[in-house]
Amino acid sequence: MKILVVDDDRRIVKTTADILKIKGHEVITAYTGEEGVALVKSDPPDCVLMDIRMPGISGVEALRQMKEILPALPVVLVSAYATGEVTEEAKRAGAYAVLSKPLNFQMVLSFLSLLHKEENILVVDDDPAFGKTLKDILTLRGYEVETETEPRKVMEHLENNYKLVVVLDLKLGTVDGVEVLKQIQARYPNKPVVMMTGYRDEMGKSIEKASQLGAYTFLYKPFETEALFQLIDEIRVKKLQNALISA
């Protein structure tokens, strides 16, 4: 991944860049907020690690300007002096987290690894045409997507590789999607599962059961794809923020 490191302390920039390069990342550097914003515009990174207190504009102001250029850009701010007020201001501006100096590099590297993995989605629907359409739409958005029509094969997909989210139909032929949700929750209790159905009234009891089991939310067919994009982006950001908070 291409990481932008912004800090007015050149020693910190060099140390951070060296560690990231050893782990295989490409690094670009800046020493002021203004330089960082210019680089986001001219050489867009995949992620930004940036100090809050710098000469010129602050890290929070630089963050706001970066978000105007690339709204989805993951930005992590760093400070040795951040107050609760500054931290809240940074999060309102769109920071994934505000970390304390000195940086816990193992945590940062784990975060970057998770950031790289967050692209995989599993769509489960017994209508192959619908699954293909949804896959095509999500693929154009930049996600890696797997589809499945057979309920018994769902767990195999989850065991093979990491999935950010499962989009699961409530009615899978003769199988109730709630039963599949139970299997997912038993093995992966924190896995976000977005349920969907075209039978809102008929599936009322199943919707209630799925909600009690911890389904992330429900989409009712036909739904706007933008609603699904927003849900996936929300889940993605929450996962990444939790990785930084809990580390």
Q: What tokens appear for 138 in the block?
A: 């999500």
Q: Which value, in Å, is the radius of gyration of the alpha carbons in the chain?
A: 21
**Domain spans of the chain?**
2-106, 117-241
**What SS3 state is found at 76?**
strand
pLDDT tens, position by position, 66-114: 999 998 899 999 988 767 788 888 888 989 888 888 888 988 988 888 7
Exposure string (b/e) for 46-65, b if CB count within 10 Å is 16 or more? ebbbbbbebeebbbbbbbbb
Task: Specify whether the CB–CB gap between 40 and 63 falls below 8 A.
Answer: no
User: What confidence tens digit (pLDDT) does each residue in 140-190 have?
Assistant: 888 889 999 999 999 999 998 888 899 999 999 889 999 999 999 999 999
Q: Does domain 117-241 bear CATH number 3.40.50.11260?
A: no
Pairing verdict, β 165-169 and 120-124: parallel
d(CA 231, CA 237) in angstroms, rounded, equals: 10
Q: Tell me the CA end-to-end span of the chain in Å, nearest whole number.
A: 21
Q: Is the pLDDT of residue 246 over 70?
A: no
* pLDDT tens string 25-62: 999 999 999 999 999 999 999 999 999 999 999 999 99
Comparing 2-106 with 117-241, is the CATH topology the same?
Answer: yes
Task: Return the structure tokens found at 78.
Answer: 């760093």
pTM: 0.69
Superfamily of domain 2-106: Response regulator (3.40.50.2300)
pLDDT at 205 over 50: yes
pLDDT band at 247 (very low <50, low <70, confident <90, very high): very low
